[in-house]
Amino acid sequence: MQADPDRILLVDDDATFLETLSKRLQKRGLVVECATSGEECIAKARETVFHVVILDLAMPGMDGIDTLKELQKRCPGIQVMLLTGQATIQAAVEATRLGAVEVLEKPTDAETLIEKVREARTKHIAVTETASGDEIEEILRKHGW
Amino acid sequence: MSKPDAVRLREDGMALLGRTIAVHSHDVINAFNVISEMAGLQLDLLQEAAGGEPVDLVELEKICRQIRSYARSGDATVRSLNWVAHRFDDVNPEVEVGQTLAKAVTAAGHLLSVRRVSIALEAPDEQAFARVDPFLLAYAILLGLETLTFKSPRDKTVTVGWQPVPQGIEIAIESGEPVEPPLDREAVRARFELLLRELGGAIETLEGDARGERLVLTIPASRTPAGGVSETGKEVR
């Protein structure tokens, strides 16, 4: 197992789907947390650092697109993938425009999903490093160091 | 009914039918997806067992039961969609009101599933028949439910019920809370009046107050719950 395993947040309003997919991903070495609504997803993403959030599109209340917007606002740099049973071209374009790194259609093979998670995590690391570098530069500039 | 009104009614009905098909098919796809994931988990467990790990029979049994439950749910969804689709070409002029309401409420449950709405059906334990266009009756119920749940707050409950009244059969759709944004009474009334002219019914009230909203439609009965014939019925069966 990796020293720093991939930590993902799975979001879907179907609890059985969440339970099943999370078991399959955990068997493959990922650390998985689940949320059954957009609101719960936002709360968990603010409490814990996840490398990738995997979002369903159609959910009661806050849907996948609204959740994606909130995540980008509240958790900058977070990598979001959409995993949906009703992917339309418009939804995929909208999600990509809002910063989703991937739009996948259910059912997706577990190995393919993990491959996409790893790709997204690489982007997460790059974004986090760039952000940290910018913050360090800002501190140095402020203090005239 | 004038031709433009009839065309508008059919077009509105087709739009609602389209939304209903989209939502039902999404629910069927969801059932298939969950079944697919569970089959994948079964394969994972079997591969682990082939690799020498103990077989988790409890987990396997749980998965089998869940697969069966989702297969049944998918089947029920397809049957609900099938019922809605057949109302469009149903030429039977007499409908059993309780059964039609129950089916329409099931279909509306799918249609409104992303709105966090629960629909309660309150009906007498008896049968009553109405001589109406089955599609238009289903359309009126779906439209009423859709109207009263527009932008509804979380976990809203809407009640659908019917009862025999001297004028025929009264169908009431009630929301426990006000509709947000406020219901456009005139526009909704106009659409319902158009529908009800064709159904042969009438809106008795379309009222709202701080507590909620209520749509009531009364349609002529062809047979009363007691098995007799109502005055508005055209034929005795």
pLDDT, tens digit, 9 for 90 and up, residues A25-65? 999 999 999 999 999 999 999 999 999 999 998 888 888 99
Whether B40 contacts chain A with CB within 8 A: yes
Q: Measured between alpha carbons, how far apart are the two ends of chain B, in Å?
A: 28
Residues of chain B with pLDDT under 70: 1-3, 150-155, 177-186, 188-189, 201-212, 224-237
Distance in Å, alpha carbon of B154 to nearest chain A alpha carbon: 7
With 0-12 / 13-18 / 19 or more C-beta atoms within 10 angstroms meaning exposed / middle / buried, residue B177 is middle
Determine the Cα–Cα distance for residues B135 and B84; give it in Å rounded to an integer: 8
B143 within 8 A of B105, measured Cβ to Cβ: no
Q: How many CB atoms lie within 10 A of CB B77?
A: 23
Residues of A in contact with B38 (CB under 8 A): 16, 20
Gyration radius (Cα) of chain A, Å: 16
> Residues A54-105: pLDDT tens digits?
999 888 888 899 999 999 999 888 999 999 887 678 888 899 999 999 999 9
Whether B166 contacts chain A with CB within 8 A: no
Give the pair of three-digit tokens for residue A106: 């259910």
- Residue B133 confidence (pLDDT): 79
With 0-12 / 13-18 / 19 or more C-beta atoms within 10 angstroms meaning exposed / middle / buried, residue B7 is exposed
For range A125-142, the mean pLDDT: 66
Residue ranges of the alpha helices (H) in chain A?
Answer: 15-27, 38-47, 64-74, 89-97, 110-143
Residues of A in contact with B27 (CB under 8 A): none
- Residue B235 confidence (pLDDT): 30
Q: Report helix, strand or coil for B6.
A: helix
Contact B34 A61 (CB under 8 A): no
The beta-carbon contacts of B77-82 under 8 Å, at least 24 apart in sequence, are B77/B24, B77/B27, B77/B28, B77/B31, B77/B110, B78/B24, B78/B28, B80/B24, B80/B106, B80/B107, B80/B110, B81/B20, B81/B21, B81/B24, B81/B25, B81/B28, B81/B107, B81/B110
Q: Comparing C-alpha atoms, which of A22, A32, A11 is closest to residue A82?
A: A11
- Residue A128 confidence (pLDDT): 62
Give the pair of three-digit tokens for residue B201: 């019914």
Determine the Cα–Cα distance for residues B180 and A143; give it in Å rounded to an integer: 52
- Residue B236 confidence (pLDDT): 28
Residues 101-140 of A with CB under 8 A from B: 106-107, 110
Q: What is the pTM (predicted TM-score) of this model?
A: 0.78
- Residue B184 confidence (pLDDT): 66
Residues of A in contact with B113 (CB under 8 A): 60
Residues 95-134 of B with CB under 8 A from A: 113-116
Determine the Cα–Cα distance for residues B122 and B120; give it in Å rounded to an integer: 6
Determine the Cα–Cα distance for residues A110 and A28; give it in Å rounded to an integer: 9
- Residue B230 confidence (pLDDT): 42
B16 within 8 A of B88, measured Cβ to Cβ: no
B76 within 8 A of B111, measured Cβ to Cβ: no
Cβ-proximal residues to B222 (8 Å cutoff; 6+ apart), any chain: B94, B129, B130, B131, B229, B230, B232, B233, B234, B235, B237
- Residue B231 confidence (pLDDT): 40
Whether A20 contacts chain B with CB within 8 A: yes
Contact B33 A107 (CB under 8 A): yes
Whether B47 contacts chain A with CB within 8 A: no
Residue B170, strand partner residues: B163, B218
Residue B93 falls in which region: left (phi positive, over 0), alpha (psi -120 to 50) or beta: alpha
Determine the Cα–Cα distance for residues B144 and B204; give it in Å rounded to an integer: 14
Give the pair of three-digit tokens for residue B119: 């629909």
Whether B30 contacts chain A with CB within 8 A: yes
ipTM over 0.95: no
